[in-house]
A and B are shown apart, each in its own frame.
Chain A
């Protein structure tokens, strides 16, 4: 293999259990965002836009949609003879197999893959955040400071700092201490889960730590260990837009930020595009009686009804007389005539019947998962069907093909769930 300066390793194995049914059948990085994108498109596009053309994507939880989405990397121009994208799934070694038991363990298990490119540096990324970042600037910072490790950090309000991994630094940015969720934070520089390591140093640390911790983790083990060894570690301050979309509420909020007249996160600039797999891109149509305001729609939408403050994925159909407000409707869903949706997340390939009312009633947390669904947003899983003429309240969850018999008096009260068996909410 031709040598690469820096290769990227994307940790894409997480489930994201706080996203509820959105991650039942797919890993969190494969969840749709902003209509046509999936969450992993952001770090992947950042990589190629930063000149990192060789990446490994480490998958573990429900990788099917992710594997299909990434394919051989065509949308990101990563279909290369030298490098490109490689999907790295856990595999059997010798007589036994190992799952990825921790973030650093996952990298440890792929040392061979990294060594093939003999890189000087390795970029480690999480894949559950929405942001644009030039990793080449971070690399330059790493080189200028002769670092062994550089950690991207974001200034957060001090009250939030106790929920995050905090870097305590000297004035010049050199890290002297890392604290995971400190009770009394000494600084407000939170780790973004984006690291650049000098590969020789990291490799050494991974091998050493793997003997001590079978669930080797960057935050818990590798970084404290490197600090203990007096390795040079700097915090790289990032000051731009960065959002964690790990909860239903944060996911909804971050989507809604895109529809503002002047959004904080700009998808419309030509020189830092976000790429996604959209080989088939028909135009969008809106009918004579339609009304669409403060919304974004992806290619191939057919809108005959009314859409306000919403985000629509590709090939969504909104029939005559339907009114969709404050909602996220993902790929290939259809909303029947006269239906009314308010603060609903509808995952892909779902069919909502006619005259269905969703999202009206009292704000009662979900009975089965009150810690996931409590902010008034009702979530409908992918490939579901909601029959005609039913009323569904707030914080409800629907999954699978449902018919009228599953709704008592044609109603699902706030906080209720209608699910096929064995579905993990």
Chain B
């Protein structure tokens, strides 16, 4: 218990359009039965961090619902456990969280009342499996002030939505750019940081009263030369929900046996709030290939290369290809769905067709009836 955790789950992302109209990005459903925040939250618990703050603001209802009990992540405790912070009014503060640094500053008593030496900070909308203990070890070994978990750029990756940095042979960060238009470097930050608790308190108390509210811009970038910042290279699977494209891809990544086994089958497990759904029922007409399905679904039609969440019903002679169908959707008989994302509880009446393009899926909003 050398660290406390902070999960920054306040953000919203315009690039996800309709899908985040009713939910925080961190509450985006992924991989058939998880929500994005299950990954960082389980990582915390699995790394032995049992005091975790989730800071949320935008559409926090969906997260509150999901985190209504902390016991699924073994964080329902008397000592420590899960803290959920949303903006609140005080006599001298009536602001929303004005940025990531501000959101931590407004809850600085969480940091001050802890006695753990380090803080692990992560975003709430990144799907990955990591032992933060290893990062803390590296942080101590290097004598770093701040350690930033990083990865080398993958093919076709759009660096414009990441922080990119340059580091020397020892891993010391020499420069840091946030979402650059013309990226100069190819080491990208995964938004996971380790920092001493006392230093974090000091930095927040220095920058926020000056009107600087963003942790990346006003702390990491501003102090990049002054503080000893090191990168920690992470080779494992890691993808953030930051656009429709990446959301679609990361769901489809679960169809890869290696990725799926690592994320869903190997200990330590990623936990989620159980929904007590019955088993999946494959009826006579079901043809279900290269796809995932969540419990409680009843399948009558054809499904290929798709991710179905819990409680999805597919009708007879219906065809679903290369699509994401979220919890509680009902697809009628003789429907055809291709390259689509159906949000929760969408109803498709018999014979309807929804056909998107391969890299531009059709999106149907929550509870819509087609």
B280–A296 touching, CB < 8 Å:
yes
Contact with B along A261-276 (1 / 0, CB 8 A): 1000001100001111
Residues of B within 8 A of A273 (CB): 276
Contact residues in B for A289 (Cβ distance below 8 Å)? 289
Chain A residues whose C-beta falls within 8 Å of the C-beta of B280 in the assembled complex: 284, 296-298
Binds A, one of B122-130, B153-161, B166-174, B292-300: B292-300
CB contact list, B43-76 vs A, under 8 A: 71-72
The answer on a CB contact under 8 Å between A283 and B293 is: yes
Residue of B279, B281, B289 near A287 (CB, 8 A) is: B289
Question: How many angstroms between the C-alpha atoms of A349 and B73 in the bound complex?
Answer: 25
Docked complex: B274-293 residues within 8 A CB-CB of A: 274, 276, 278-284, 286-293
C-beta contact mask, A16-47 vs B, less than 8 Å → 1, else 0?
00000000000000000011100000000000
- Is B269 close to A, CB under 8 A? yes
Which partner residue on chain B sits nearest A276 by CB separation? Answer: B276
Complex Cα distance A389/B173, Å?
58
Contacting residues, chain B, for A53 (C-beta < 8 A) = none
The interface bits of chain B over 13-37 (1 if a CB of A lies within 8 angstroms of the residue's CB, else 0) are: 0000000000000000001110000
A38 to B316, CA, bound (A): 31
Which residues from B are CB-within-8-Å of A74? 71
Q: Whole-angstrom distance between the alpha carbons of A72 and B295 in the complex?
A: 24
- Whether B242 sits at the interface, judged by CB under 8 Å, is no
Question: Chain A's nearest CB lies how many Å from the CB of B166?
Answer: 39
Q: Which residue of B lies closest to A287 (CB)?
A: B290
Q: B269–A280 contact, CB under 8 A?
A: yes
Is B353 an interface residue, CB under 8 A from the partner? no
Q: Are A297 and B282 in contact (CB under 8 A)?
A: yes
The residue in A34, A284, A292, A297 that gathers the most chain B C-beta atoms within 10 A of its C-beta is A284
A283:B254 contact, CB within 8 angstroms = yes
Q: Do A293 and B295 touch (CB < 8 A)? A: no
Are the C-beta atoms of A286 and B288 separated by less than 8 Å? yes
User: Given that A279-B271, A286-B288, A287-B289 are contacting pairs, would A299 and B295 also be in contact in the complex, using a CB cutoff of 8 Å?
Assistant: yes
With A278-B274, A290-B288 known as contacts, the answer to whether A283 contacts B279 (CB < 8 A) is: no
| Distance (whole angstroms) from the CB of A360 to the closest CB of chain B | 24
Roughly how many angstroms separate A283 CA and B38 CA in the complex, as a whole number?
14
B residues less than 8 Å from A311 (CB atoms)? 279
A150: Cβ under 8 A from any B Cβ:
no
Which bracket fits the contact residues of A? 35 or more
- The answer to the question of B314 belonging to the interface, with a C-beta cut-off of 8 Å to chain A, is no
**B285–chain A nearest beta-carbon distance, Å:** 8
Please state if A283 and B292 are interface contacts (CB–CB under 8 Å): yes
Closest chain B CB from A75 CB (angstroms): 7
Q: Are B292's CB and A259's CB within 8 A?
A: no
Interface residues on B, range: 35 or more
A278 to B273, CA, bound (A): 10
| Residues in A neighbouring B255, C-beta threshold 8 A | 285
Residues of A contacting B221 with CB < 8 Å?
none
- Among A280, A282, A288, A299, contact of B289 (Cβ-Cβ < 8 Å): A288
Complex: how many Å from CA A312 to CA B293? 14
Q: Is the CB of B31 within 8 A of A288?
A: no
Determine the chain B residues whose CB is within 8 A of the CB of A258 once the complex forms: 279
- Cβ contact within 8 Å between B278 and A267: yes
| Contact residues of A between 289 and 316, Cβ < 8 Å to B | 289-300, 302, 307, 311-312, 315
Residues of chain B within 8 A (CB-CB) of A297 are: 279-280, 282
- Beta-carbon nearest neighbor of A285 in chain B: B292
Nearest residue in A to B296 (C-beta to C-beta)? Answer: A268
CB–CB B282/A283 < 8 A: no
Q: Give the residues in chain B near A298, CB-CB below 8 Å.
A: 279-280, 295
Determine which residue in B33, B255, B278, B281 has the highest number of CB atoms from chain A within 10 A of its CB, and name it.
B278
Measured between alpha carbons, how far is A342 from B87 in the docked complex, in Å?
60
A289, closest chain B residue (CB): B289
What residue of chain B has the Cβ atom nearest to residue A301's Cβ? B280
Bound-state Cα–Cα, A424 to B202, Å? 68
A312 to B276, CA, bound (A): 17
* Given known contacts A279-B72, A281-B33, A281-B274, A267 and B265 CB-to-CB distance under 8 angstroms: no
- Give every chain A residue within 8 A of B290 (Cβ-Cβ): 286-288
Q: B225 at interface (Cβ–Cβ under 8 A)?
A: no
- A291 and B283 in contact, given A282-B265, A283-B293, A298-B295 (Cβ under 8 angstroms): no
Across the interface, B286 reaches (CB within 8 A) one of A288, A292, A315, namely A292
**How many whole Å from A45's CB to the nearest CB in chain B?**
9
Choice from B33, B276, B279, B288 contacting A275 with Cβ under 8 Å: B276
The answer to whether A281 touches B288, judged by C-beta atoms less than 8 angstroms apart, is no
Choice from B31, B271, B286 contacting A280 with Cβ under 8 Å: B271
Residue in B279, B293, B294 whose Cβ sees the most chain A Cβ within 10 Å? B279
**B264/A267 in contact, CB under 8 A:** no
Chain B neighbourhood of A288, CB < 8 A: 289-290
Cβ–Cβ contact A286 & B32, under 8 A: no
Hey, what's the 0/1 contact readout for A393-406 against B, CB within 8 Å counting as 1?
A: 00000000000000
A-B contact pairs, 13 of them (CB 8 A): A34-B278, A36-B279, A268-B296, A273-B276, A276-B276, A280-B271, A281-B295, A283-B254, A286-B290, A287-B290, A293-B284, A300-B264, A315-B265
Sort A-B residue pairs by CB-CB distance and give the 5 closest, nearest first: A283-B32, A282-B264, A267-B278, A296-B279, A35-B279
Q: List chain A positions with a Cβ less than 8 A from chain B.
A: 34-36, 74-75, 258-259, 261, 267-268, 273-276, 278-300, 302, 307, 311-312, 315
Q: A283-B31, A291-B287 are in contact. List 14 more A-B contacts (CB 8 A).
A: A35-B279, A258-B279, A268-B281, A275-B276, A279-B72, A281-B272, A283-B33, A287-B290, A292-B286, A294-B283, A296-B282, A297-B282, A299-B294, A307-B282
